[in-house]
Structure 1
Amino acid sequence: MTRRSIREKLVAIVMSTTLAAVVISVGTIIAYDLRSYQGALRHDLATQAELVGHMTSAALAFDDPRLARENLALLRTRPSVRAAALYDAHGQLFAAYVAPGEPNVFPAHAPHTDARQHGKDAYTRDGDDLVLVKPIAENGDTLGTVYLRADNLLAERMRDYILIGLGVTLLALLTAYALVRRLGQSIITPIAAITDIAREVVARRDYSRRAPRISQDEAAELVDSFNAMLTEIEQRTRALEESNREIAREAQERARAQQEVMRLNEGLEQRVHERTTQLELANAELEVAVGEAHAANQAKSAFLSSMSHELRTPLNAILGFAQILASDAMPTTLEQKKEFSSHILKSGRHLLTLINEILDLAKVEAGALTLSMEPVALAEILTECRGMIAPLAAARGVAVQFPPAPGAVLQADRTRLKQVLLNLLSNAVKYNREGGAVTLDCVDAGPQRLRLTVRDTGIGMRGEQLAALFQPFNRLGQESGPQEGTGIGLVVTRRLVEMMGGTIGVTSSPGEGSVFWIELATATPAGEAGAAPQEPQQARETAAQAPGAPHLVLYIEDNPGNARLVREIVGFRPDLRLVCAADGQAGLEIARAELPEVVLTDLNLPGISGYDVLAGLRRDAATAHIPVVALSANAMPRDIERGLAAGFMRYLTKPIDIDKFNEAIDGALKQKG
């Protein structure tokens, strides 16, 4: 059997997966488009036949073939129509039209089809042409029949799509091959290093060799375990050699004294006991390592679930508003189109920021990010940050205060230092109160150390929020107002600061703002910069109310874009009236006060979750009967199963499918009725 390397297997898996995905997606798109094209062609031909019937009905009624031919001649503006004919009520050819270069051949009598006999349109194929036979009726009487023959370009369109699909498939396979060849090194290199060391150890019996630790993932844990195994084997080999020497020495001295032999035997037993104890300790350490690996795997699963939620949240607004703009059943004004496009752009930019931050985090975690440490003039970095943060601060009415031009020079990576400062400053502006202030200080923190402090006048954070602040996808407990954030920026910021040999910290008090600080090494002594105290201020947000309609629907959602999307969807249904709440507690109060007929709720809400809202409604006898529909970006199968098991009538995932959304609302209203 041919031996295949890990690299070859990885390439085969990625290429086969890519091929299957591209073939399925491209095939689905082609089939859908061809079906839509065939329907559009038939609809267009039926429209032409309808127009011809209306135009020629008078000619048929007054037996005027000349007028009928003039009306049919207007089809020359439709190049796709090759020929047309008009038959009277007795099925006799009354008038005809042929496009230039087409044969003047028509059926002598109107074609008889089951559909025509029942007053319906009849479609047939004549070679590459599509033929339509449509009766002309007026006041319930059949005046005649329209016969149209047009080009059917379906086969040509199918050939074009097949060529395009082959090109897309080839390009996707080439791209996937290039990416796996490049990115696969991070997986293959550690395993190859362990393999080479293992071969050398087996060949030379040199147990002092150690495999290098070149990553920070499961492969690194494998390297550590491999090295620990070599260490144990080396120790046991030395112990065995020492034991052999002791046995030889005991054999030489056995004749001298039996007591000496007994002493040596006791020493040997003691050493065996020590080695056994060491082995038990090693096994215990291995069990701890396995437990840590299991915990790391659970953390990774939680991270992926949270990442899925964060990716689907902006996609919900993008696809939802796009469905409204693309739907003929939901006409929109120019102002609405502009507003919906603005929501789509905002969510798209947020999604791009999220993806970029995830990539940065992945690079840092994989050890693929390299820094260029050099002396960096702090004054230049602060000048660049001031210019980039000023527009954001001006838009929110936040004053940003920078220290006088400091003369300090930091030992850091210039690009990553600017990234760290911009992230701290932008967070301080976004999570600040309107008309608040952000102050940046720089002070001497010890020998060859400088502390940079960013102080804001926002709502601050509690102790439990600070404890989880530097975890991925943590957005300050989602209590920081309507500002969107991924929760990744601070994780990347901390890793970058640590890679530059620095430290980062935060202090905060609810209602008084937060202070983020970083300490870095200086290349030259740095001066001190003052800071001005700021006054605390609480930020508040009000929930918008939707106009009235017969059936009252309550929607609990903390994301303004998602709330607006549902408001617009419901706006196209005059039988509904929507009321929105920005958090779970407000939603419970509205439900008890107004008793809606249906409740829609997100699951990740500030304060209490969607599950707590469901439980609160069920505990109250006045609201226990109200159907509750979950509407969440948590789209993992286990999330859906958990929601349905908790008692939600339906579990809809974001991005919203408008048809399923309306179906769920109708089902809830029927259930209540």
Structure 2
Amino acid sequence: MIRLRSIRKKLVAVVMSTTLAALLVSVGTVIIYDLRSYRHVLINDLETQAELLGHMTSAALTFNDANLARENLALLKSRPNVRAAAIYNANRKLFASYLAPGAAVDFPEIPVEGKARKEDGDLIVFHRIVEKGEVLGFVYLRAENALLARTFDYFGIAAGVTLLALFIAWLLVRRLGGVITVPIVDITRIAHEVVATRDYSRRAHRNSNDEAAELVDSFNAMLTEIEQRTRELEDSNREIAREAQRRSEVQQQVMRMNEQLEQRVEERTRQLALANAELGEAIAEARSANQAKSAFLSSMSHELRTPLNAILGFAQVLTSDSLPTTAEQKKEFANHILKSGRHLLTLINEILDLAKVESGAVSLSMEPVALHDMLAECRSMIEPLAFERGIRVLFPDNANAVVMADRTRLKQVLLNLLSNAIKYNRESGAVVLACSSDTPERLRLSVQDTGFGLRPDQVNALFQPFNRLGQEGGSEEGTGIGLVVTKRLVELMGGTIGVTSSPGVGSVFWIELQATTPHAMPAERTAPVLRLASGAPGGQAPRLLLYVEDNPANLKLVEELVRLRPDLRLLCAPDGPRGLALARSHLPDIILMDLNLPGMSGTEVLKELRRDPRTADIPVLALTANAMPRDIERGLAAGFDRYLTKPIEIDKFTEAIDSVLAQPADHHAIERSGS
């Protein structure tokens, strides 16, 4: 109904509404802010009181003196807002209690820690009593929530202030509203007179210099325009001409829109054709991938069934009563079963390796690797196979270069290339391993054989699963997966792999890796090494430190660090299983653990140590090249007492060893249970 009122009443209504809204917002903001502050004050006061009670009753809890605790709680009589209080011991049992006069409160059986909360109109606080890092008990306080009464007081004050402000605003609007409404009322009066008398010479009076005065001027100008009736026909003609021009412009705009629409249709058609072409390519790629998958599964089924056929066939012959066999035949058949079983195991391991590499589940530990030691290890492992087949294997004499690689995976790559070169060689052939460097940053390792070589089409399909170096139908056992895994591992280590081959002459397989600064690297240990210190200061027995690490350089560095400390003796293990066995047999004082270990990972060894009651409390420190923040978080979450990263910082390394050895064994158990 506000539209039916006069402008003066509308002005009053607008001012009063605006004033009311402003008052509600401002007063409401002040009230809400003050109530929040008051609530924080109540909670802080109650928590402070709980903390004071905790300090006062810590002695009573320590000496199990309930009377002293009740006397401390009786001091709350000076705080009438506290309705109830209680002390719980460390076992969360009620130790002492207090009830204000007239209060009827049920104490909770077990204290529940957390922030202050409301319950039945009261504020409740639980506070932990801690003395020298040990939890002695809990304080329970229940106090009246004075926030509601304060809220009602504020609402009463706000209502009074709002009514008074609205009354003052109403008086001011009624007294000063005429300044705005008088010019408008005058225009309204003149308009009524012009309509009634048709006298367009009348003018409204201008009595101000504001927007109302502009309205008066506009109204008077309108009357002047209306007086010029003689110009109506001319104005009408001009309007018709303008309308015709606008119509022409609209037609031209429609034509331009039609042209744009045609262009969009053509563009959309081209995009659709391109999308159809891309869809066709995607379908072709999907079909090709499906065919490759089918071929892979078919080859894998064939490779799995071949050794299984020999195993099951000879096993049936051995177990058959109708096919008598001699002891010599049984031994021969058993050898065939054993050979096929080993071949099947190799096949399964290679398939699992391929699956790990393709899924990105392979974890590499990149570090400087001395080729001299690596090639010596490969030579000792490959020479028996070469001797059986009458193949000469030649290694470089002075391979002093160092490459950045994962030691275990690099050994796997070299052994696979060397075993293939021996397996597919001629009778009395040769295998030559060479080391060369075209640039200081890259190092090439090449394996050359004197085999039958490969045709270009065989080379192109070489790094595909179940492609056995082009030896389809040959007598050599193999899966063809090893080269696929080798290629993926080399690429993961930041290297490249390639092959050149000449039919009838032989093949050369090569890999290139990043070279780094050469330095002497000791040979890898194959058995645990125990180094004893000459004696600890003060006649104390030296502490035993077990270091589980497969990298000889890292083992040598830690040996030298421990050698400088007469209070320590060092026990080394090159892999996870042997490290676990040494920990159980020697029960060291502290264990350093690499994470990427052969046989078992460092995390798996840690789990086994924690399961065994004899080794559960031995502190274990991680020492690894996995230095990303997420790796550190996972290591600490797995249960390592400290997490040290490579390269070793000697000060941090020494501080970690000293701090862990300085703590009692039960302290480590408490820390792990708390984490």
Q: Which has the higher contact order (CA 8 A, sep 6+)?
A: 1
Q: Same fold (TM over 0.5)?
A: no
Question: TM-score of the superposition, structure 1-length normalised?
Answer: 0.38
Question: TM-score of the superposition, structure 2-length normalised?
Answer: 0.38
Choose 1 or 2 for highest CA Rg.
2
